[in-house]
Amino acid sequence: MIWCDDVTKCTKCGKEVYMPFICNYCGNAFCADHRLPENHNCKNIHEALPPHARTSPPPPTSTSETIYTTSEPDWDSTEGEIVDRYFEPDGTEVIVRRVPIYAIERPEKPIWYFSKLELQHLAIGILLMFGVGVSMFYTMYFFAGLDPKWDFTLLLAGFATLAFLLHELGHKFAGIHLGNWSEFRLIKIFTILTAISVIPLNPLKIVCPGAVQVTGDTGPKNMGKIALAGPSVNLIQATIFVILANIFFLPTDDFFKVFIIAAYLNAFLGLFNLIPIGPLDGLKVIRWNKVYYLITIALLIGFLIYLFPRVSF
């Protein structure tokens, strides 16, 4: 089973990038081709000039060429903390201020808002995930030499889909809460691979039709919090399923087995996404807070150790 996670869109061209470049002057995320201020027509490109060559931002033109003069600026910024003050050889006073890199306003829409396009992508993703779930559990029954229990197979496929859906919604709502634009989008290549995984008796399952895309403040702190939200949701789901299994059912009951498998699946997905490689959540969380990363890892491993001997069909 392979799982991937959230990506970011280049603000200039819309290309999906897993490791975006953040412009120090406008705070937006860009791909490698548009990472330089001059390549994405940065609205604050004048800040990249030497202090003595700065002027007020020129009015928009129909061409991408911009000419700056060394004349004295006709504006006086009063925002930000003054960190340095000095005079140029010609006597011009230069004031250096520390201002926030990111100036992202919270979305006006409520946190539970879903665009029409996002709902379409989510619907396709849910159908694909459910199909992969049915195929996965049918394959497990087949290779175990057991007759498939279709009612439990469908129920487990539903829990697998729920694990995926709530994981992604955890990223989405965390991103919106922190003031970012965050929406789920299908990723073409992974959507195709997920569709192929619906084929029964295929032991390799690609569980990644899409991911939450984030644009806005993509600094380490914000992205770390957004990344941790997904595995945290899986951890919460695993806890709920374990509690329900032990309160309402006996270990010999079929529903006990279903809830234990659902808990195990959530713990596994949460742990897998915390592997610190590529587009998975782990690297983002480590860059933000290693303590939270280790705590979450320990809790998920503890769940897997507890659940593994109890998993049965």
Q: Distance between CA 103 and CA 100 in Å, rounded?
A: 7
User: Is the confidence at residue 121, as pLDDT, over 70?
Assistant: yes
* Cα separation, 184 vs 16, whole angstroms: 12
Can you tell me the mean pLDDT for 248-255?
91
Judge if pTM exceeds 0.95.
Answer: no
Amino acid at 289: N
Round to whole Å and give the CA distance between 22 and 40. 12
Q: Could you give the CA distance from residue 93 to residue 85 in angstroms, rounded to a whole number? A: 7
| Per-residue pLDDT tens digits for 61-86 | 433 333 333 333 333 344 455 666 66
Alpha helices, DSSP H, located in the chain: 116-143, 150-177, 188-197, 220-248, 254-273, 281-288, 290-307
The shares of helix, strand and coil residues in the chain, as percent rounded to the nearest 5, are 50, 10, 40
Given this model, what pLDDT does residue 58 score? 45
pLDDT, tens digit (0-9, with 9 covering 90-100), for 202-226: 777 778 888 898 887 778 899 999 9
Helices (H), 187-219: 188-197
Q: What are the DSSP E strand ranges found in 148-227?
A: 181-186, 210-215
CA distance 56 to 8: 31
Out of 74-88, 188-202, 250-264, least confident range: 74-88
Alpha-carbon Rg for the chain, nearest whole angstrom, is 25
Average pLDDT over residues 10-15: 82
Arithmetic mean of pLDDT, 136-144: 84
Task: List the one residue out of 65, 64, 54, 12 whose CA is nearest residue 35.
Answer: 12
64: number of Cβ within 10 Å: 9
Element (H, E) at 17: strand 16-17
